[in-house]
Structure 1
Amino acid sequence: MVARAAQQACGDDAVAVTAVSPSLASGEREQAEQLAQQIGIRHVVIETDEFDNPDYLKNEPNRCYFCKTELYTRLGHILPQLDVDVIANGANLDDQGDHRPGMVAAGEHAVRSPLLDVGMTKQDVRDLAQHWDLPVWDKPAMPCLSSRIAYGVGVTTERVRRVDEAEKYLREEFGLLEFRVRHEANELARIEVSIDELPRLLDTSNRLAITAKLRELGFAFVTIDLEGFRSGSLNSVIAVDDLQVLGSD
């Protein structure tokens, strides 16, 4: 949405950037490239190295701060060659209601949040994207793969690969759209799907097939969460008084 608005307002001066690292889910880069082509905006792909940062890999509640710091630092370095003066992200009003340490990094790097500035909610964004005929207007949210790993369980390339392959399997074999494979401690997979999908996954043949596949991918235990899908459910274990986001006072 921000890319489309930037292209409309700035024309050839606008640039969309996709950051690639092991935490980017399968197919996301290709979809970004296709969308940029449809919008008609210049598109640049960069690689980020958050997986080289021990503070990121520790996977504490402020993990996103280190990821966004890496991203915005990289972007700051290439602004001159892109002939761009401003970095903008896609944060919206609904993002203020959750734990978002990455927003601290955005503030430290003078990143603008135009959707937030005008008070647009996630639904507002979807409505406008549909009006503009963007094919991703109803695309389920796809946060980075590291966000599937429970806090305190170290982020590794193997764990994000495992999550990526598990979600790809469930998406392709069962047609699931809005769901998550959460990677808990002791190599336990906790699958969150909508309540309506629970009976299908609990069907004996499907349950056995899913268990076998996820064990093949390296999970020792496979569970299905009876509460269903909840966006950001891993944040429920964070005590607000205990949050300490590095980079803020």
Structure 2
Amino acid sequence: MSESELDRLRQRISAEDALVVAFSGGVDSALLAAVAHQVLGPRALAATAVSPSLAAVERRQAKEFAHTRGIPHVEVCTDEAERPEYAANDGNRCYHCKSALFDAIEPLATALGGRIALGTNLDDLGDHRPGQLAAAQRGAIAPMVDAGLTKQAVRRVSRELGLVTADKPAAACLASRVAYGDPVTPEVLGRIERAESAVHALGFEVCRVRAHGQGTVARLEVPEDDIARATEQRTELDRVVREAGFQFCAVDLGGFRSGRMNALLPLLPVRSAS
């Protein structure tokens, strides 16, 4: 099955003249960048958006991945943090973030004579992702969706290719940790990044520090199997999270799950993305 999945992805990419892959360094965009490089060679470029919402460790790992595999790679600075509609952090924040991304990398795609490609997979289509509307409006493509790859398939093909990202934990942007309705600021994003780095250092490989109460309360999510250990280490966790800049630290007994902030969406006013 893995071979046919990889063949489908290669075939889809081969239909393009050139691609600029929006490359965050995560498992999805890493696979897309690697296969695009295999198929298109110098006509494939990986572009990483640099802003306060990208953790320093993610930026470093993206650069290392591209360098190790010989993938042409550039970093572009995006200005979403300076856009009031993004900072307001309503349910359409991702739309404005993707718009800033496309503003930054569209000139690259034009110069290369190709299109922008996103590492969206089939499982992403069922989640709340306003950025997909921005992608559709800008003509960006999602080769892995077209090739029928799920998140599980992405990891399976990544292992087949020997990518170091195959088992990398999901790592959404730092802004996804801020409660909808609370403003997204560089200060809060920095607080989250420092807190998560400190929690990782205590041995919790997978975690999320969700910011509530205008960035004063940290709601710590770890996998269910780690909740008992987090309770045992509550003193250390409370200390490092408070040292990162939060006033309070709480361990969420529901455990880690991607996209849990979306539970707040029904509480927000209904607005159009554009």
Instruction: Establish whether TM, by shorter chain, passes 0.5.
Output: yes
The 3 A distance-change label for structure 1 pair 21 and 241 is closer
Instruction: Return 235-244 or 124-133, whichever deviates more.
Output: 235-244
Question: What does 1:39-118 align with in structure 2 at a 5 Å threshold?
Answer: 39-81=69-111, 83-118=112-147
1:146 aligns with 2:175: yes
Separation (CA, whole Å) in 1 of partners of 2:128 and 2:110: 32
String of CA shifts for 1:100-143, please: whole Å, max 9, x gaps: 00000000110000001121100000000000000010001111
How much has 1:245 moved relative to structure 2? 3.9
What SS class does the counterpart of residue 16 from structure 1 fall into? strand
One of 198, 209, 227 as aligned partner of 1:181: 209
1:129 aligns with 2:158: yes
Identity %: 41
The residue aligned with 2:234 is: 207
RMSD over aligned Cα atoms: 1.5
What SS class does the counterpart of residue 118 from structure 2 fall into? coil
What SS class does the counterpart of residue 100 from structure 1 fall into? coil
Say if 2:90 and 2:268, in contact at 8 Å, map to a contact too.
no
String of CA shifts for 1:119-171, please: whole Å, max 9, x gaps: 11000000000000000100011111010000001101110000000100111
The residue aligned with 2:250 is: 223
How much has 1:77 moved relative to structure 2? 2.2
TM-score by length of 2: 0.85
The 3 A distance-change label for structure 1 pair 241 and 46 is closer
Instruction: Return 125-134 or 21-30, whichever deviates more.
Output: 21-30
Separation (CA, whole Å) in 2 of partners of 1:3 and 1:36: 8
Segments of structure 1 that go 5 or more residues without pairing to the other structure are none
Separation (CA, whole Å) in 2 of partners of 1:208 and 1:178: 19
How much has 1:243 moved relative to structure 2? 4.7
The residue aligned with 2:56 is: 26
1:196 aligns with 2:225: yes
How much has 1:63 moved relative to structure 2? 0.2
| One-letter identity of the residue aligned with 2:252 | D
What SS class does the counterpart of residue 219 from structure 2 fall into? strand
Say if 2:181 and 2:268, in contact at 8 Å, map to a contact too.
no
The residue aligned with 1:165 is: 194
Instruction: Return 127-136 or 236-245, whichever deviates more.
Output: 236-245
Separation (CA, whole Å) in 2 of partners of 1:90 and 1:148: 21
The 3 A distance-change label for structure 1 pair 112 and 101 is same
| One-letter identity of the residue aligned with 1:90 | G
TM-score by length of 1: 0.94
The residue aligned with 1:16 is: 46
Separation (CA, whole Å) in 2 of partners of 1:245 and 1:142: 27
The 3 A distance-change label for structure 1 pair 51 and 241 is closer
Query: After the TM superposition, which parts of structure 1 deviate over 3 Å for at least 4 consecutive aligned residues?
Result: 240-245
Separation (CA, whole Å) in 2 of partners of 1:240 and 1:155: 18
Separation (CA, whole Å) in 1 of partners of 2:210 and 2:110: 39
Separation (CA, whole Å) in 2 of partners of 1:130 and 1:52: 38
